[in-house]
């Protein structure tokens, strides 16, 4: 009775029928790669977990040199379930980046970036940077020794960019060295600037995904009828999220996220300081690159290659000349595979 009244009340005020009809007319292609279509939704799921756990952590976290580490110790030891919320936040951050990279790879290999989905690719590419930004800015916040030295190395990277490099470093650090100003900056970016920008771009990305519907890969044969988005695919998405939630809570409990000793700016860097795994390809390339190549500085070359490469990837939908003929672009696929293989090999070698 109440349910019916509520449904009618909402139906008279909101375009519920239009929304229902839209979802009913949306289908997800059924073929041997359909399983990869869950990755975008999984990334959204982890992002929501990050927002919820992040807000809870903000209640006790103190973004100061004196208070940061102590407040994290307090969260772990004193706040009821504080250790679990922190552990979930840290694990979900890593899992989100993993699902995001896999989602990018599925879009790339099924060449789903092709017209008319150029804006989806471009908004997704911006999201990739925003999400990596979360990882970078969040790393310093516990103010432990590894975080401190890794951020020192990380904020050093833009230094060799011609003209703007030193200013960029000073802007990130809030001065010459890592200190109070750096924590405040990283915190502001982490809890305010990045969430707002990410919410905006996730909104655009999801709106476009509803508008265009899921793309059909050109070379894969369909396996029966397409799957109705609502309720069938939505229920499958929910099932995936439930499994992800159980796994996430499981790892967060069994392997609680650690915390190093409080950072001491006077202590020498401990052995084996490394950034998070998703920054390793860049970090390790810097390590193996000679300091000078001909007349150029090694770091400047790497920064230039990364910037040009990033720009090329951003504009990929416009560079794919085979899109019009609806053929596989072997050159682009091979180049992408080589980059992915390079990142995997160099990451593994860094850990070995
Ligand atoms: C926070 C990050 C991201 C979220 C939450 C997200 C979410 C989604 C979702 C839910 C879909 C529809 C379901 C699916 O196809 O998996 C989708 C599709 C898509 N995404 Fe993302 N995405 C993100 C990042 C990216 C990145 C980094 C790229 C590439 C640079 C990208 C490119 C695309 C494209 C082209 C589609 C359309 C695929 C098709 O129609 O077959 N996305 N995304």
Inside any domain, residue 308: no
User: What is the whole-number distance in angstroms between the Cα of residue 231 and the centre of ligand 1?
Assistant: 20
User: What is the whole-number distance in angstroms between the Cα of residue 213 and the centre of ligand 1?
Assistant: 11
User: What is the whole-number distance in angstroms between the Cα of residue 112 and the centre of ligand 1?
Assistant: 9
Domain extent for 30:
26-283
User: What is the whole-number distance in angstroms between the Cα of residue 128 and the centre of ligand 1?
Assistant: 10
- Is 50 a residue whose pLDDT tops 80? yes
Query: What distance, in Å, lies between the first and last C-alpha atoms of the chain?
Result: 64
Inside any domain, residue 60: yes
Using pLDDT thresholds of 50, 70 and 90, give the confidence band for residue 229: very high
Tally of domains in the chain: 1
Residue 121: CB within 6 Å of ligand 1? yes
Burial class of 159 by CB neighbour count within 10 A (0 to 12, 13 to 18, 19+): middle
Inside any domain, residue 87: yes
Mutational test site, ligand 1, from 29, 40, 43, 45, max ligand atoms within 8 Å of CB: 40
Q: For strand 292-293 and strand 296-297, is the pairing parallel, antiparallel, or unpaired?
A: antiparallel
User: What is the whole-number distance in angstroms between the Cα of residue 286 and the centre of ligand 1?
Assistant: 30
Using pLDDT thresholds of 50, 70 and 90, give the confidence band for residue 257: very high
* Helix (H) / strand (E) containing 292: strand 292-293
Q: How far apart are CA 55 and CA 36, in angstroms?
A: 30
pLDDT digits (tens, 9 = 90+) for 259-285: 999 999 888 887 778 889 999 999 999
pLDDT, residue 79, reads: 98
Q: How far apart are CA 281 and CA 291, in angstroms?
A: 17
Tally Cβ neighbours within 10 Å of residue 210: 12
Residue 205: CB within 6 Å of ligand 1? yes
pLDDT, residue 223, reads: 87
Distances (CA, A) of 158 to 170, 176, 186, 239: 10, 14, 16, 42
Omega of the bond prior to 231 within 30 degrees of 0, cis? yes
Mutational test site, ligand 1, from 26, 92, 120, max ligand atoms within 8 Å of CB: 120
pLDDT digits (tens, 9 = 90+) for 56-83: 999 999 999 999 999 999 999 999 999 9
pLDDT, residue 116, reads: 96
pLDDT digits (tens, 9 = 90+) for 298-348: 888 998 999 999 999 999 999 999 999 889 999 999 999 999 999 999 999
pLDDT, residue 172, reads: 92
Residue 29: CB within 6 Å of ligand 1? no
Residue 112: CB within 6 Å of ligand 1? yes
Residue 100: CB within 6 Å of ligand 1? yes
Distances (CA, A) of 224 to 32, 93, 216, 297: 11, 36, 13, 56
Atom index in ligand 1 nearest the CA of residue 201 equals: 1
User: What is the whole-number distance in angstroms between the Cα of residue 167 and the centre of ligand 1?
Assistant: 34
Atom index in ligand 1 nearest the CA of residue 43 equals: 5
Q: Please name the residue whose Cα sits nearest to atom 25 of ligand 1.
A: 124
Inside any domain, residue 277: yes
User: What is the whole-number distance in angstroms between the Cα of residue 244 and the centre of ligand 1?
Assistant: 18
Inside any domain, residue 136: yes
- Is 136 a residue whose pLDDT tops 90? yes
pLDDT digits (tens, 9 = 90+) for 152-189: 988 988 887 878 888 999 999 999 899 999 999 999 99
pLDDT, residue 58, reads: 98
Residue 154: CB within 6 Å of ligand 1? no
Using pLDDT thresholds of 50, 70 and 90, give the confidence band for residue 84: very high
Using pLDDT thresholds of 50, 70 and 90, give the confidence band for residue 195: very high
User: What is the whole-number distance in angstroms between the Cα of residue 108 and the centre of ligand 1?
Assistant: 10
Residue 127: CB within 6 Å of ligand 1? yes
* Average of per-residue pLDDT across 247-264: 96
Residue count (the chain): 352
Residues 6+ away with beta carbon under 8 Å from 114 = 215, 317, 320, 323
pLDDT, residue 156, reads: 87
Inside any domain, residue 223: yes
* Average of per-residue pLDDT across 134-151: 94
The mean of the pLDDT values for the chain is 94
Residues 6+ away with beta carbon under 8 Å from 120 = 112, 113, 205, 208, 209, 212
CATH code of the domain in which 173 resides: 1.20.810.10
């Amino acid at each position: 009775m109440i349910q019916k009244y509520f449904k009618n009340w909402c139906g008279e005020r909101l375009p519920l029928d239009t929304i229902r009809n839209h979802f009913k007319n949306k289908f997800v292609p059924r073929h041997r790669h359909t399983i990869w279509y869950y990755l975008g939704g999984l990334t959204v799921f982890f992002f929501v977990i990050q927002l919820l756990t992040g807000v809870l952590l903000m209640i006790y976290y103190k973004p100061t040199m004196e208070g940061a580490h102590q407040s994290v110790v307090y969260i772990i030891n004193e706040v009821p379930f504080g250790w679990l919320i922190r552990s979930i936040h840290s694990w979900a951050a890593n899992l989100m980046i993993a699902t995001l990279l896999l989602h990018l790879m599925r879009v790339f290999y099924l060449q789903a970036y092709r017209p008319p989905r150029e804006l989806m690719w471009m908004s997704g590419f911006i999201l990739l940077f925003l999400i990596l930004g979360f990882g970078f800015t969040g790393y310093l916040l516990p103010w432990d020794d590894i975080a401190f030295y890794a951020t020192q190395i990380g904020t050093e990277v833009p230094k060799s960019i011609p003209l703007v490099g030193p200013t960029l470093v000073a802007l990130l650090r809030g001065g010459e060295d890592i200190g109070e100003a750096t924590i405040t900056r990283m915190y502001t970016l982490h809890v305010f600037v990045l969430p707002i920008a990410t919410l905006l771009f996730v909104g655009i990305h999801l709106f476009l995904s509803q508008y265009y519907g899921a793309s059909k890969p050109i070379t894969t044969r369909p396996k029966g009828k397409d799957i109705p988005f609502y309720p069938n695919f939505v229920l499958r998405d929910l099932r995936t999220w439930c499994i992800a939630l159980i796994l996430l809570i499981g790892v967060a409990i069994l392997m609680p996220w650690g915390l190093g000793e409080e950072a001491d700016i006077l202590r020498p860097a401990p052995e084996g300081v490394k950034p998070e795994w998703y920054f390793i390809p860049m970090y390790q390339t810097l390590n193996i690159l000679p300091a000078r190549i001909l007349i150029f500085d090694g770091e400047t070359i790497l920064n230039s290659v990364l910037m040009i490469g990033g720009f090329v990837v951003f504009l990929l939908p416009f560079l794919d000349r085979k899109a019009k003929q609806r053929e596989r672009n072997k050159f682009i696929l091979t180049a992408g595979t080589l980059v992915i293989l390079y990142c995997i090999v160099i990451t593994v070698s860094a850990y070995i």
